[in-house]
Structure 1
Amino acid sequence: MDRPDAKTIPIITMTANAFAEDAKKCFDGGMNAHIAKPINMDTLKNTLGSCIKP
């Protein structure tokens, strides 16, 4: 997008695929983080914390 803030919005992928190559595909597609299901709340909190800057 041409909006100046478009590149500052973190994109976190959540999939049922937990293999390293699946996460790599997400990162190659421009995602900031990957979380595999089932969701672990500690992992989710840590991932959100690392992607969201105050």
Structure 2
Amino acid sequence: MIPPALQQLFDNPPRDFGPTPLWWWSGAKVTRDRLAWQLRRFADGGVHNLVVINL
């Protein structure tokens, strides 16, 4: 049996342990509005960590 506090961590892990996708930027122009929209989309989907790779 898992202790309740440990089970809670598995059910609702801290953001530090969430998904961390690789976000490839292909060199296209990025505007502040577009970037803010994309970051909101990630956050709305539960993604709070990113690795940005600028090609």
Q: TM-score range by the shorter chain?
A: 0.3 to 0.5
Larger radius of gyration: 2
TM-score using structure 2 length? 0.41
Higher relative contact order (CA 8 A, sep 6+): 2
